[in-house]
Amino acid sequence: MANFADRLIKEIEKYQNPSSIGLDSDFERLPKFLRKKQVSQAIFLFNKAIIDSTFDIVPAYKIQIAFYEKYKLEGLKAFEKTISYLKDKKKIVIVDAKRGDIDHTAKAYSFSYLSPQGFDADAITLNPYLGRDSILPFLEDAKKYQKGIFILVKTSNPSSKEIQNQKLKNGKEVYRIVAKIVKEVGESTEGKFGYQIVGAVVGATFKKEMKILRKILPKNIFLVPGFQTQGGKAKDVILAFNKDKRGALINNSRGIIFAFENEDLKRKFGEKKFYLAARYSALKMKEELNSVLKKIS
Amino acid sequence: MANFADRLIKEIEKYQNPSSIGLDSDFERLPKFLRKKQVSQAIFLFNKAIIDSTFDIVPAYKIQIAFYEKYKLEGLKAFEKTISYLKDKKKIVIVDAKRGDIDHTAKAYSFSYLSPQGFDADAITLNPYLGRDSILPFLEDAKKYQKGIFILVKTSNPSSKEIQNQKLKNGKEVYRIVAKIVKEVGESTEGKFGYQIVGAVVGATFKKEMKILRKILPKNIFLVPGFQTQGGKAKDVILAFNKDKRGALINNSRGIIFAFENEDLKRKFGEKKFYLAARYSALKMKEELNSVLKKIS
């Protein structure tokens, strides 16, 4: 296995698609015919159909673990099976867990998500509120197992400003302090494309912050949530990329996996073929992103 | 069921013991004879023995979920069984999960940990980096199900200063902004003892911050980790209490559950009777806290 940043960029370029599909597969929102099944089976079958229908067009999948934890062991069984399935398909798997803890506890989480004896995902999202004590144990495993980490820097939700945009004495905002941590811990982890295995989560909804962060963090890959469902548009996410047209992975969760809820798509494909609505939407997103990427020169 | 703050205070006073035992039950650190068993069984048997040996002296248990997630479904099986067992014993259960997410995702986590259909714990710890979007969904459930939440304000680890102690333009630190959020979201959730169902996690290692926070947040219960193992001493944690001798729950995890590793206690009780070393240490902690509480007037 190679450096995580290299792997991710290589896959993005292979599929000409800098996007990931977010498997926020809440049982309650699955097609009715699937909800007749047992929770674990329903969620896994849903994910499998989405994956089978999109793995030839997207390089990576992001799994929001909350929707699996919601159903306790049943849900987590589906979580585990989904990761295995994605790995069989040679896809890059990012677990969106936003963990943040220290010391032995951080090591335990890291073992769980990044180690080969654990769920063995390719990357995990982390919350920086506890400082680098909560980052370094994961980074150590990321180096050891050729994995990656994405640190929350500026999130896409309205109240993210409450802490992240507080202005410090020196005139800079809290999110810039976090960016500095990302920069420092990422040092010397570059792969051959020049990107580091420490990435940043930067919401698509705040243009100003995106611009600033892209400048401060030229070597870090941005995981950008909030495309479409949270109001982020293709023309906005262009700011997440560097001049080399690299450096960002744009995620869309509900806009793809629950595309079958859209009236037009429901008419076109039918609820039973929800996975075709997902493919349709994933292809549309790919097109949109590529047409925007063309404008980078 | 009554208001969470009332329940917790009532139990603390029933046992004359403002402390909780942290079940950070990492399989790797269990007594050797238990590690011969299958992971899920070993962890649960360990916890059960600790609980059986201490439930008549402590009001609450804190479960650090990372040590269960570490062993995937096997570990989480033990997590679920441990919570059930504690609830059978009428103990208060705090899940230390430090979750922090928004919107549907926060609702999913909240459903998992606080709802009766989920793990049904009494309280959960939360990370505030995403602002109150990441708090309110849990608070809604806490109100609905008579549960509580504890928001990380100032954590006990050295690098907590990197973000939490950044000074803002107005001269105040980031952790005070979080304290303000705690204060605001906790409003009107007081029980009959005057305490709110929104608590704060405040490490025992930083005296200055503890003093400030105790002043700003008179109605919020402090969950105080870092006793002993992280250097917090009984005389330091006195600052976590109000004049009414209430308002704090002091947690000790490894200092109690792994007390059998201590050479003196190992000689006294033997590794097979690890639970007696735990009881011994829990009683000692209770005594220490009470002797310190006497000094509050």
> For the segment B49-81, what is each residue's pLDDT rounded down to a tens digit?
999 999 999 999 999 999 999 999 999 999 999
Q: pLDDT at position A200, please?
A: 98
Determine the pLDDT at residue A270.
95
The residues in A 4-63 lying below 8 A from B, measured between CB atoms, are: 24, 26
In a domain, A232, yes or no: yes
What's the pLDDT score for residue A297?
Answer: 79
At residue A250, what is the residue type?
Answer: I
Q: How many CB atoms lie within 10 A of CB A267?
A: 8
Q: Is B169 strand, coil or helix?
A: coil
For the residues B97-103, what does the mean pLDDT come to?
97
- The catalytic residues of A are 98
Q: What is the pLDDT of residue A7?
A: 98
Residue B149 near residue B201, CB atoms below 8 Å: no
Check CB contact of B166 with chain A, cutoff 8 Å. yes
Is residue B293 predicted with pLDDT exceeding 90?
yes
pLDDT in tens, B251-283: 999 999 999 999 999 999 999 999 999 999 999
pLDDT above 80: residue B232 = no
- pLDDT greater than 70 at residue B229: no
A226 backbone dihedrals φ, ψ, rounded to 5°: 90, 10
Q: Which of residues 55-84 of B touch A (CB under 8 A)?
A: 64, 66-67, 69-73, 76-77, 80
- Asked whether residue A187 is domain-assigned, the answer is yes
| Smallest CA–CA distance from B180 into chain A, residue | A162
Query: For chain A, what is the HEC assignment?
Result: CCCHHHHHHHHHHHCCCCEEEECCCCHHHCCHHHHCCCHHHHHHHHHHHHHHHHCCCCCEEEEECHHHHCCHHHHHHHHHHHHHHHHHCCCEEEEEEEECCCHHHHHHHHHHHHCCCCCCCCEEEECCCCCHHHCHHHHHHHHHHCCEEEEEEECCCHHHHHHHCCEECCCCEHHHHHHHHHHHHHCCCCCCCCCCCEEEEECCCCHHHHHHHHHHCCCCCEEECCECCCCECHHHHHHHCCCCCCCEEEEECHHHHCHHHCHHHHHHHCHHHHHHHHHHHHHHHHHHHHHHHCCCC
Span A214-273, pLDDT tens digits: 999 999 999 999 777 655 577 889 999 999 999 999 999 999 999 999 999 999 999 999
Angle, vertex CA B149, rays to CA B232 and CA B289, nearest 5: 30
Separation in Å, CA of A234 to nearest CA in chain B? 22
Q: Which pLDDT band holds residue B234 (cuts at 50, 70, 90)?
A: confident
Which residues of A are less than 8 Å from B138 in CB distance? Answer: none
DSSP-assigned beta bridge partners for residue B154: B202
Q: Do A159 and B76 touch (CB under 8 A)?
A: no
- Identify from A63, A98, A135 which residue to disrupt to test chain B contact, counting B C-beta atoms within 10 A and taking the largest count: A98
CA A157-A162-A165 angle, 5° bins: 90
B106 touches chain A (CB under 8 A): yes
Looking at the structure of chain A, the number of domains it has is 1
Domain-embedded: residue A212: yes
Q: Does a structural domain hold residue A297?
A: no
Band of residue B204 on the pLDDT scale cut at 50, 70, 90: confident
Q: Which residues of chain B neighbour A168 with C-beta distances below 8 Å?
A: 166-169
Nearest CA in chain B to A117: B71
- Residue tagged active-site, from B62, B77, B91, B98: B98
Between chains, do B70 and A111 touch, taking CB under 8 Å as contact?
yes
Q: Which pLDDT score is estimated for B231?
A: 60
pLDDT at B235: 80
Closest CA of chain B from A253, distance in Å: 12
What pLDDT sits at residue B228? 73
Q: Which residue's entry shows tokens 């070597």?
A: A219
Return the closest-CA partner of residue A148 out of A119, A125, A131: A125
Say if residue B203's pLDDT is above 80: yes
Q: Which two tokens stand for residue B163?
A: 């973000």
Q: What's the pLDDT at A204?
A: 87
Does residue B295 form part of some domain?
no
For the cut 80, the answer to whether the pLDDT of residue B174 exceeds it is: yes
Query: Measured between CB atoms, does B183 come within 8 Å of chain A?
Result: no
Residue B50's alpha-carbon distances to A78, B29, B45, B53, in angstroms, are 32, 14, 9, 5
Core vs surface per residue A23-43: b (16+ CB within 10 A) or e:
bbbbbeebbeebeeeebbebb
Residue span of the structural domain in which A87 resides:
4-292
A-B contacts (CB, under 8 Å): 178
Here the CATH number for the domain that contains residue B195 is: 3.20.20.70
Query: Is residue B237 assigned to a domain?
Result: yes
Give domain status of residue B297, yes or no: no
Based on its alpha-carbon atoms, the radius of gyration of chain B, rounded to whole angstroms, reads 18
pTM over 0.95: yes
Q: What pLDDT sits at residue A229?
A: 60
Return the beta strands (E) in chain B as ranges. 19-22, 60-64, 92-99, 123-126, 148-154, 198-202, 222-224, 248-252
Q: What is the pLDDT along chain A (297 residues), one digit of tens a residue?
A: 799 999 999 999 999 999 999 999 999 999 999 999 999 999 999 999 999 999 999 999 999 999 999 999 999 999 999 999 999 999 999 999 999 999 999 999 999 999 999 999 999 999 999 999 999 999 999 999 999 999 999 999 999 999 999 999 989 999 999 999 999 999 999 999 999 999 999 998 899 999 999 999 999 999 999 777 655 577 889 999 999 999 999 999 999 999 999 999 999 999 999 999 999 999 999 999 999 999 987
Structure-block tokens of residue A277: 């609505």
CB atoms A131 and B103 under 8 Å: no
Q: What is the ipTM of this complex?
A: 0.97
